[in-house]
Structure formats: structure tokens, C-alpha cells
């Protein structure tokens, strides 16, 4: 019986985690697993949460959900890292925007000096998916289904300016070369990183080997249209 139970549950995997700027609390009143660096109104109280599940209805592989909550200034856009080998074909279906407040998702290379002044003070190059908001909001949630297994990566978000100063946010582990590439995905956070789609195919039994986004030698422009869904 124990063997049979193990066989039926071994592939059911759900990882979740959170980061927060100083003073931040999650909705349940607990402290986030790791930290965010923010400026101006986002210096305190901001939270970024995620989950990666391989048992979500309607997704035959890994389902990633992200939520960003901030105080004071509305969110302009947010970017989550993916592997440098991630392609449109690795996105299994549309990006799900349950709040109907996101306009599109751009798969591209983001970093210092790229895309004009869209990402002020982003610490390093990051290949990722950027989602833009369509109006004023301090909370965004989005999900995607992918055949890439979860591994540790980075995030970045911004608004505009506050009294002439840029308002932005990123995980404090962004530039840290401190994650073993074979570190398995888990709940919580490893060295202030988030879970993102990896560079290899679906294998819930193994951690996967990431390819750093800094290995990308040029920007690859690819627009992934977000089809807004009614709840």
C-alpha cells in the first residue's frame, strides 16, 4: 500500500515562495522567505510571490504563477527570467491574466542600456518575459504553462518616477553568483531568488541545469501576445 501511494503521488509537485522589501508582510501576516531591493515608495512593503506546480488543471507540464504587490506607486511592468534557450514553443498556451490588466508579454533580453530607459538600474542582463499593465494598479497576477522545469532565477519591476527619482524593484540576489546550478527547486527561496522556467525539458524528478541569461550575445525580439481572459 505504501509503495502504491508513493507511486501515485511522486509526480505531484507544488513549490511556492515569496520575497519582500523591508517591513513587508504576506496576506496571511507572515514574513516573506527572502528580500527585495526597492526605491522610493517601493523601498518598503512590496511583496513578490510565486508558485510552480505540475498538477494544475489544463496544463500538462509546469504551471507558474506570479503576483507582485506594491505600495504608493502603480506598477508599469514586471519581468521574470527564463532560460536563454526559452522559445515561444516552450510557452504552452496563452499567458493567463485573471485580472485583465496586462497588455502583452515580450520575450527578450533586458539589461543596462537596452530598450532605452525602460529598465532603470537593472543590475545585469536578464533574458525574460516582460508583462505591461494597461492601467493604474498596485497588484498584478499572471500565470503561464511551460514545458521547462523550475530553477532559480531573477525578477525586475518598475513604475515611472517619484519626485524625479526612478521607482524600481528587483530581488536582492539578482547579481549573486551563489546558486548551485544543480540546486533543486523547492518551496521558499534560495539566496533571494525566485523560481523560473529552466533551460531543459519537463522532468519533475530532476532539478535541471540552467543556462545563465548573460550568455545571450544579443537581444532576440519576440512578442508573446497576451489574450485577455474573462473570469
What is the per-residue pLDDT across 159-171, written as a single tens digit (0 to 9) for each?
989 999 999 999 9
* Cα–Cα separations (whole angstroms), residue 129 to 8, 77, 82, 132, 156: 34, 10, 7, 10, 10
pTM score: 0.84
- Mean pLDDT in residue range 137-164: 95
pLDDT, position 183: 83
Q: Which grid cell sits at 213?
A: 541569461
**pLDDT over threshold 70, residue 186:** yes
Task: For 20-49, write each residue's pLDDT tens digit.
Answer: 999 999 999 999 999 999 999 999 999 999
pLDDT, position 201: 55
pLDDT, position 4: 38
- The mean predicted confidence, pLDDT, of the chain is 84
Domain ranges of the chain: 16-225
Which pLDDT band, with edges at 50, 70 and 90, does 104 fall under?
confident
> Which residue spans within the chain are E strands per DSSP?
14-20, 34-38, 47-53, 62-69, 77-81, 102-110, 126-133, 139-146, 150-153, 155-162, 165-171, 194-197, 222-225
* Residue from 47, 35, 52 nearest 78 by CA: 47
User: Are 221 and 127 spatial neighbours (Cβ–Cβ below 8 Å)?
Assistant: no
Amino acid at each position: 500500500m505504501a509503495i502504491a501511494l508513493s507511486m501515485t503521488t511522486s509526480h505531484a509537485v507544488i513549490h511556492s515562495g515569496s520575497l519582500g522589501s523591508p517591513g513587508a508582510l504576506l496576506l496571511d501576516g507572515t514574513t516573506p522567505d527572502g528580500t527585495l531591493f526597492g526605491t522610493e515608495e517601493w523601498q518598503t512593503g512590496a511583496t513578490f510571490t510565486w508558485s510552480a506546480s505540475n498538477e494544475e488543471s489544463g496544463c500538462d507540464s509546469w504551471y507558474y504563477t506570479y503576483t507582485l504587490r506594491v505600495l504608493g506607486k502603480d506598477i508599469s511592468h514586471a519581468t521574470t527570467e527564463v532560460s536563454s534557450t526559452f522559445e515561444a514553443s516552450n510557452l504552452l498556451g496563452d499567458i493567463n491574466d485573471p485580472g485583465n490588466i496586462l497588455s502583452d508579454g515580450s520575450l527578450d533580453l533586458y539589461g543596462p542600456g537596452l530598450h532605452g530607459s525602460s529598465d532603470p538600474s537593472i543590475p545585469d542582463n536578464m533574458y525574460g518575459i516582460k508583462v505591461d499593465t494597461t492601467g493604474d494598479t498596485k497588484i498584478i497576477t499572471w500565470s503561464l504553462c511551460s514545458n521547462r522545469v523550475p530553477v532559480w532565477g531573477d525578477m525586475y519591476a518598475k513604475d515611472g518616477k517619484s519626485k524625479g527619482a526612478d521607482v524600481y524593484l528587483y530581488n536582492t540576489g539578482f547579481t549573486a553568483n551563489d546558486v548551485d546550478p544543480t540546486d533543486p527547486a523547492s518551496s521558499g527561496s534560495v539566496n533571494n531568488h525566485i523560481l523560473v522556467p529552466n533551460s531543459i525539458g519537463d522532468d519533475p524528478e530532476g532539478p535541471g541545469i540552467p543556462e545563465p541569461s548573460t550568455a545571450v550575445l544579443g537581444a532576440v525580439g519576440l512578442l508573446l501576445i497576451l489574450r485577455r481572459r474573462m473570469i
